[in-house]
Chain A
């Protein structure tokens, strides 16, 4: 871990990020250190404050804010909002270099195009958003294309529209298309197969099966000595899962894009098979339910009772006459005549 050291303040492009505190002298190295740590994570990872803070680079929350601001200013990180929480994504140094050399107009355009992700944005819409003249717009877009930052595609839906999106993205397959469907409906068999594969892949990546004797220090009674799963702190992203699955060669005739995999992973989160650790990272749920026990209400007869709403304090349907209680307790209920 870095020991705190006081050194020179970095160049002044950064607006003060934490107004509460006077800007403490920051170490450029420390920002780089943070960047490098982030770069160790799987590609496409989204970082939340909690992820960044536990890297033990910043001393306090406000210092962390400053470091992040610096990285954002240097285009090495992209600030986003997800679930009402700020989060950050890494840009490659290459990309950051390119971005730094953009003109202000180009940068605004890039920002808008980036926003739309794989949906792409129509040039007219860009013009409306930026108030640029037609000439300036096309000049800037050309230059962005030349720098290999954005690409243009023709819309399938509106064939005369030119849509712009970032260079490395796959244009989305319009509407409910996509690899998971066949003949307009979800291909349950395919989804099932692939989610099983993903599930076992995630198990392998995020869990570790420890044997009983994983730590054989001399001691007599170890009640906890059972083999079981432990977590490994490595959480794949939609992109890395996609790459892994594609390389297995199970899916042959279809291309699964990052977004398609994200859709599947999100669905698996709903299924309770995976849990989302942060923005784009997933892991296996370890909490398996060994016993059939939920909560005090549904574990007792009434919680599952088909006549719950009809049951009263007395009368034909009541706790005294209840057959379910009788079964559950193995006692006789009051007979109803």
Chain B
């Protein structure tokens, strides 16, 4: 993963800040030791720090529970710890994850994920216990009357609301959706100091593995302590009474809980926890290699390149197999009962309202007596969030935005629908472990697996009926397919067509027109495959990802250097290495006009130079000077700079917060919360508002920079350069 440079000093700094914000001082100190010293044993960490072994263990337990460190005990006596950079970086995305999940699966699912993220990973039984403590008598089913409004709530509420609910319901909606992550972050930080969380799994002297296997011990006092208030907060009738909107963001019954988990697993958002996930990339590779060597080459050393290739191929295959196992959804007894009972159509709707509200209602009706539900074998399953899937969802959103920018709203919605259909079948954005030699693709005749194809009809059926599909199209193209209208004055439809009353077939044809737009765009958002379902399409994600990387680099250059810089980059991209004269010819400009730009771009690291001597003596005058553009290098440079930008934003945020620290303390006092106007002076109120603005502005850019990081690093593997 070196091209993502996640182990550079800058990212170490960034991840450290994130860990600190999320899990407090102790965990972040241990993290930073590991970041500075690399792979270490417990003793090694202790030696490098001012802490004693006990404290270090406390920190480590948090990091392990959150998958922020890898550990390996290949050697029976010592365990090595190593940072899991991806997981650490992903902390910045928590808010994003919840928003994405909410848009796809509704609020209950995003709440569930939010809890799962807080816990790091959890045994299903413990989640159940946290939601529905066996001691609590109140039946969740009481609140069920409101179920039907579920949909509307989910659409315009903050995904975090329910968690924040108990605490600052009066605060209203100060922040937009983007900010959820941090609000969550702050809350968690204050509510769970590491040592408390850590207690249950402190037997790591003997065996750290136990910590992961146990997941979250059900009997632990602090667990219930930290979780129950949340659970109660939402279920508590008094609380929901305060709110005008019905309180339905919280999973209402154990059946619903199982159903939600099951659904999220089938969608690939939740995966099983496996011991192997604690192995670093290097350790995992070594393990696969060892296995293969033992199986395929027993009692003989590897000889020659042929054996080596075989080993390489078998190793990546093995690694892929491990990974696929994590994704497999085990048999859920709770779900098989349920499906029999209600015949739920799993794939029917994208939002799915968590298996249909009716289902859970009828279910809960006859199982109300057992508050904590029946125990099922799947209770012992330990689960966690799947970050790879998050990247897939982020990609969908980004591409939709890009299409909207280029082709307009309705075409973007068509594309979003298409990507949504594909999403279920995409476990990740790109294959991290491809076969060493990719299979040759001959000509235009590509064979694509059916589940990577979408037809115009699929989209027409699935797309939100409230979208005006005629919008954004050439009227002449519309009248070809819909109704009996004609086009007058080249622009007006006569008579007008009601876009919401077109037949299914017409709709399919109109979707096809949008597809044509998507296809003819230089980004080639879709590629035609066959005439099945009126027209059938595939998406070449790799090419698009590359094009979006190029776009972001161009955006950066435009902002810094204006159009001329971009023109130069494009010329180089098209023509390869150029000397000055050739560059002039391509850009149709005189050397005098482009020289300055070339120099600036070289300094900024976007353009590379090369000197080829023409004579024996190396004299600048007698050499050919070539400039060229290397996408991978430019990408790495921008990625690295963006990480740095994120660090600066977080540092500035900390600085700004320092400035208002005492004011914030006052504002957060319990007697002040809700009565700000009474206890705070006007100046204080102004300062508070100002701080909120500053915070929002900084966080917004932080999240947008994370989007950029995703575009640059998460959607496409390293590019092979010339």
Q: A118 near B: Cβ within 8 Å?
A: no
Q: A304 vs B556: C-alpha distance in the bound complex, in angstroms?
A: 9
Q: A331 near B: Cβ within 8 Å?
A: yes
21 pairs of residues in contact across A and B, judged by CB atoms under 8 Å: A58-B531, A65-B445, A185-B590, A188-B590, A214-B475, A215-B493, A271-B563, A275-B522, A277-B522, A295-B559, A297-B638, A297-B645, A297-B705, A298-B559, A302-B645, A302-B649, A303-B559, A303-B641, A313-B13, A319-B647, A320-B652
Contact residues, B497-547 vs A (CB, 8 A): 497-499, 516-517, 519-520, 522, 524, 527-531, 535
A27 to chain B, nearest CB (A): 15
Residues of B within 8 A of A266 (CB): 574, 586
Contacts known (A294-B559, A297-B638, A329-B697); A20 close to B445, Cβ less than 8 A? yes
B596 to chain A, nearest CB (A): 16
Contacts known (A54-B519, A180-B588, A191-B588); A231 close to B474, Cβ less than 8 A? yes
Contacts known (A214-B475, A267-B586, A272-B566); A322 close to B705, Cβ less than 8 A? no
Instruction: Report A's interface with B, CB cutoff 8 A.
Output: 18, 20, 49-50, 53-54, 56, 58-62, 64-65, 86, 176, 180, 185-186, 188, 191, 208-211, 213-219, 224, 230-233, 263-264, 266-267, 269-272, 275-277, 286-287, 294-304, 308, 311, 313, 318-320, 322, 325, 328-329, 331-332, 334
Residues of A within 8 A of B493 (CB): 214-216
A157 to chain B, nearest CB (A): 18
Residues of A within 8 A of B529 (CB): 60-61
Contact, CB under 8 Å: A217 / B496: yes
Contact, CB under 8 Å: B701 / A215: no
Contact, CB under 8 Å: B704 / A295: yes
Residues of B within 8 A of A208 (CB): 474-475, 490-491
Residues of A within 8 A of B473 (CB): 230
Contact, CB under 8 Å: B560 / A54: no
Contact, CB under 8 Å: A319 / B519: no
Residues of A within 8 A of B585 (CB): 176
Q: B694 near A: Cβ within 8 Å?
A: yes
Q: Which 8 A-B pairs have the closest CB atoms?
A: A296-B704, A319-B651, A296-B705, A298-B559, A53-B528, A217-B496, A294-B555, A300-B701
Contact, CB under 8 Å: A267 / B552: no
Contacts known (A298-B555, A298-B556, A300-B701); A232 close to B476, Cβ less than 8 A? yes
Residue of A nearest to B489 (CB): A211
Q: A186 vs B470: C-alpha distance in the bound complex, in angstroms?
A: 45
A261 to chain B, nearest CB (A): 12
Q: A297 vs B711: C-alpha distance in the bound complex, in angstroms?
A: 12
Report whether over half of chain B's contact residues are helix, strand or loop; otherwise say mixed. helix
B321 to chain A, nearest CB (A): 29
Residues of A within 8 A of B586 (CB): 266-267, 270
A200 to chain B, nearest CB (A): 17
Q: A301 vs B705: C-alpha distance in the bound complex, in angstroms?
A: 12
Contact residues, B268-306 vs A (CB, 8 A): none
Contacts known (A188-B589, A211-B492, A287-B405); A296 close to B520, Cβ less than 8 A? no
Q: B309 near A: Cβ within 8 Å?
A: no
Contact, CB under 8 Å: A297 / B642: yes
Residue of B nearest to A290 (CB): B405
Contact, CB under 8 Å: A61 / B499: no
Contact, CB under 8 Å: A300 / B524: no
Chain B contact residue count (CB 8 A cutoff): 84
Q: B213 near A: Cβ within 8 Å?
A: no
Contact, CB under 8 Å: A296 / B703: yes
Contacts known (A186-B589, A295-B704, A304-B560); A329 close to B530, Cβ less than 8 A? no
Contacts known (A61-B529, A210-B475, A313-B13); A300 close to B649, Cβ less than 8 A? yes
Residue of A nearest to B552 (CB): A295
A67 to chain B, nearest CB (A): 12
Contact, CB under 8 Å: B708 / A60: no
Q: A213 vs B519: C-alpha distance in the bound complex, in angstroms?
A: 28
Residue of B nearest to A332 (CB): B659
Contact, CB under 8 Å: B559 / A232: no
Contacts known (A296-B706, A296-B707, A303-B645); A86 close to B499, Cβ less than 8 A? no
Residue of B nearest to A329 (CB): B694
Contact, CB under 8 Å: A215 / B470: yes
Contact, CB under 8 Å: A302 / B655: no
Q: B571 near A: Cβ within 8 Å?
A: yes
**Interface 0/1 of B647-691, CB less than 8 Å to A:** 111011001100100000000000000000000000000000010
Q: B409 near A: Cβ within 8 Å?
A: yes
A251 to chain B, nearest CB (A): 16
Contacts known (A180-B588, A211-B492, A297-B645); A61 close to B409, Cβ less than 8 A? no
Residue of A nearest to B650 (CB): A319
Q: A49 vs B574: C-alpha distance in the bound complex, in angstroms?
A: 21
Residues of A within 8 A of B496 (CB): 215-218
Q: A332 vs B655: C-alpha distance in the bound complex, in angstroms?
A: 10
B585 to chain A, nearest CB (A): 6
Contact, CB under 8 Å: B524 / A50: yes
Contact, CB under 8 Å: A322 / B652: yes
Contact, CB under 8 Å: A233 / B520: yes
Q: B644 near A: Cβ within 8 Å?
A: yes
Contact, CB under 8 Å: B588 / A186: yes
Contact, CB under 8 Å: B519 / A50: yes
Contacts known (A50-B519, A272-B563, A329-B697); A302 close to B644, Cβ less than 8 A? yes
Contact, CB under 8 Å: B570 / A270: yes
Contact, CB under 8 Å: B530 / A319: no
Contact residues, B573-615 vs A (CB, 8 A): 574, 584-590, 593
Q: A18 vs B445: C-alpha distance in the bound complex, in angstroms?
A: 8
Q: Which one of A214, A217, A331 contacts B498 once the chains associate, using CB atoms below 8 Å? A: A217
